[in-house]
Structure 1
Amino acid sequence: MSDKPFALLVARPPSTLADSEYEAYLEFGNLKPEELVAIQLSEIDPEDINIDDYRGFIGSGSPFSYNYPEDVRTPEHRQTEYALEHILRRLIDADLPFLGVCYGHQAIANCRGDALTQDTPDPLSIIEITLTPEALADPLFKDFPPSFYSIVGHEDSIESAPADGVILAYSDNCPVQAVRVKNNIYGVQFHPEITMETLQLRLDMYVGRYFPAERAPEIIAVGEANDMVQVSRVVTNFVDMYRNV
């Protein structure tokens, strides 16, 4: 096994939620803490990141949105977006392993000049995701059924397959739930890192923004009625694909 760690590019401010995400990536990636380095994007100079020091990168979700007007973006938001896209452009150019989740997924399109849209948002909810034929042959979705359930919650979406990209999954409302660019750049709009145990953190944080408070019991009931374990295999499979790189 390579002694290089993976890197988690953290696009949300330090918080209990950010800590829980890191723990989820450790668990689902079967990684030890020394095998996953958390990089707080708002606090780094991306020029200092040597992309060859890591086996692969995961780009996290974020409370920030690409549709925010410039005058309401905080310095932390601007720095996070700048650092993520500075690193991501280099990864795409070199076709090095990257898994973008929600905000990290959208960054793949944004940093390449591909279109993002606010026409297909999803409130915080649990929905059915359907795989394309290309996904069923892709190692990221190894051992997946043709469709599965996952937690979603987003304002921005990728409008269509990016250049050099192929759509791997979609939902009734969002046409690009997963994408691959080149051979090793992946993005998922849904959240493979969220479990029923950590869902409550999201409900507490995003009530009033992504969903009305009265819908919380319904969201929990849908999760309890469906298999919410399957989706975490996205993280497991990604790490397994590049564990020995």
Structure 2
Amino acid sequence: MLPFLLITTRGEDLEAADEHAAYCRLTGLLPEELHWRRIDRAPLGGVDFDAYSGIILAGSPFTVSEPAERKSATELRVERELAALLDEVVRRDYPFLGVCYGIGTIGAHQGARVDRTYGETSQAVSISLTEAGAVDPLLHELPARFEAFVGHKEAISEVPDSITVLASSPSCPVQAFRVGRNVYATQFHPELDTASFASRVRAYAGHGYFEPAEADAIIQRVERADVRASHMVLGRFVEEYLGTRRWVADPAPQPG
């Protein structure tokens, strides 16, 4: 079988390792089946698309909407590398799942407006599938309404024609979308369970997602959340694309 590629940008070693472990656990992939590149530490370099079943871009403390002059040299490099990667991903209609930071990155690549209008503090929210989401190959097995963890400063506020919105929440109109047939993104975090979300809240208490004094109250509230349905996104992504080439565009019709 062909492995998947996980791309992350978390600078903290413990949180980065926990993130990779969470993706392994919830996709059902072994570590050797989910290759991992920390592009905050080293340039992404070339990606051999034929060597992978698909690519996952994880969340990040980086933000698309922050003015360029406030971004570090590392963040600017990461943005350039991801833009080049997405040029090829979209051209190939290659299996791709972007999470949180990923939705802003892919959205901006497609010309969406990414700003602070629909940011959500760290919490569990109720997410509803749109009509398109209810019949989407990746999401159609999810409940029409489910809980998921969120925590983001920015979100998509204007959607271009190339994006099909698949899920929404009362406080954030674009919680999931698709570009083409195989390029997906979620604003919510399908890789987080209650324990890992609590750890993430503690790790990023001083990063502007919420008031640091609220951390314990946030953790207490989310202990009652049931986000198991959101985890299905990862399992379905692997099921849909593992070791197959069903995603390859249909061959052009032959004359005669």
- Relative to the length of structure 1, the TM-score reads 0.92
CA distance in structure 2 between the aligned counterparts of 1:218 and 1:147, rounded to whole angstroms: 25
- Helix, strand or coil: the match of 1:175? strand
Determine the structure 2 residue equivalent to 1:50: 48
User: Given that residues 106 and 116 in structure 1 are in contact (C-alpha distance below 8 angstroms), is that contact kept between their aligned partners in structure 2?
Assistant: yes
CA distance in structure 1 between the aligned counterparts of 2:64 and 2:141, rounded to whole angstroms: 33
User: Given that residues 113 and 159 in structure 2 are in contact (C-alpha distance below 8 angstroms), is that contact kept between their aligned partners in structure 1?
Assistant: no
User: Given that residues 163 and 181 in structure 1 are in contact (C-alpha distance below 8 angstroms), is that contact kept between their aligned partners in structure 2?
Assistant: no
- Helix, strand or coil: the match of 1:219? helix
Residue 159 of structure 1 and its aligned partner are, at CA, apart by: 1.9
Offset from partner CA, 1:171-204 (integer Å, 9 cap, x none): 1111100001100000000001111111222111
User: Given that residues 6 and 37 in structure 1 are in contact (C-alpha distance below 8 angstroms), is that contact kept between their aligned partners in structure 2?
Assistant: yes
1:157 paired residue among 132, 155, 167? 155
User: Given that residues 27 and 238 in structure 2 are in contact (C-alpha distance below 8 angstroms), is that contact kept between their aligned partners in structure 1?
Assistant: yes
Determine the structure 2 residue equivalent to 1:109: 107
- Helix, strand or coil: the match of 1:177? strand
Determine the structure 2 residue equivalent to 1:144: 142
Determine the structure 2 residue equivalent to 1:243: 242
2:251 is the alignment partner of 1:233: no
CA distance in structure 2 between the aligned counterparts of 1:110 and 1:183, rounded to whole angstroms: 18
Residue 239 of structure 1 and its aligned partner are, at CA, apart by: 0.8
Determine the structure 1 residue equivalent to 2:90: 92
CA distance in structure 2 between the aligned counterparts of 1:155 and 1:231, rounded to whole angstroms: 20
User: Given that residues 202 and 215 in structure 2 are in contact (C-alpha distance below 8 angstroms), is that contact kept between their aligned partners in structure 1?
Assistant: no
> 1:24/1:171 Cα in 2 relative to 1: closer, same or farther (>3 Å)?
same
CA distance in structure 1 between the aligned counterparts of 2:202 and 2:77, rounded to whole angstroms: 26
Offset from partner CA, 1:139-166 (integer Å, 9 cap, x none): 3224321111111111111123333221
- Helix, strand or coil: the match of 2:223? helix
User: Given that residues 44 and 83 in structure 1 are in contact (C-alpha distance below 8 angstroms), is that contact kept between their aligned partners in structure 2?
Assistant: no
Quick one: which amino acid aligns to residue 93 of structure 2? Answer: D
Quick one: which amino acid aligns to residue 223 of structure 2? Answer: E
Determine the structure 2 residue equivalent to 1:125: 123
1:16 paired residue among 11, 14, 17? 14
CA distance in structure 1 between the aligned counterparts of 2:144 and 2:47, rounded to whole angstroms: 38
Quick one: which amino acid aligns to residue 128 of structure 1? Answer: S
Offset from partner CA, 1:191-239 (integer Å, 9 cap, x none): 0111111122211122241112343344334323231222111111111
CA distance in structure 2 between the aligned counterparts of 1:86 and 1:12, rounded to whole angstroms: 20
Q: Structure 2 matches for 1:1-12, cutoff 5 A?
A: 3-12=1-10
CA distance in structure 2 between the aligned counterparts of 1:12 and 1:213, rounded to whole angstroms: 20
Range 68-77 or range 150-159, more displaced? 68-77
Determine the structure 2 residue equivalent to 1:168: 166
- Structure 2 gaps, min length 5: 245-256
CA distance in structure 2 between the aligned counterparts of 1:184 and 1:161, rounded to whole angstroms: 18
Range 209-218 or range 230-239, more displaced? 209-218
User: Given that residues 159 and 175 in structure 1 are in contact (C-alpha distance below 8 angstroms), is that contact kept between their aligned partners in structure 2?
Assistant: yes
Quick one: which amino acid aligns to residue 17 of structure 2? Answer: D
2:182 paired residue among 173, 184, 200? 184
Percent of aligned pairs sharing the same letter: 33
Q: How many residues align?
A: 243
> 1:112/1:47 Cα in 2 relative to 1: closer, same or farther (>3 Å)?
farther
CA distance in structure 2 between the aligned counterparts of 1:69 and 1:83, rounded to whole angstroms: 18
> 1:88/1:14 Cα in 2 relative to 1: closer, same or farther (>3 Å)?
farther
CA distance in structure 2 between the aligned counterparts of 1:52 and 1:162, rounded to whole angstroms: 29
- Helix, strand or coil: the match of 2:124? strand
User: Given that residues 58 and 100 in structure 1 are in contact (C-alpha distance below 8 angstroms), is that contact kept between their aligned partners in structure 2?
Assistant: yes
CA distance in structure 1 between the aligned counterparts of 2:102 and 2:168, rounded to whole angstroms: 17
Offset from partner CA, 1:101-139 (integer Å, 9 cap, x none): 000111111123322121111111111111112111123
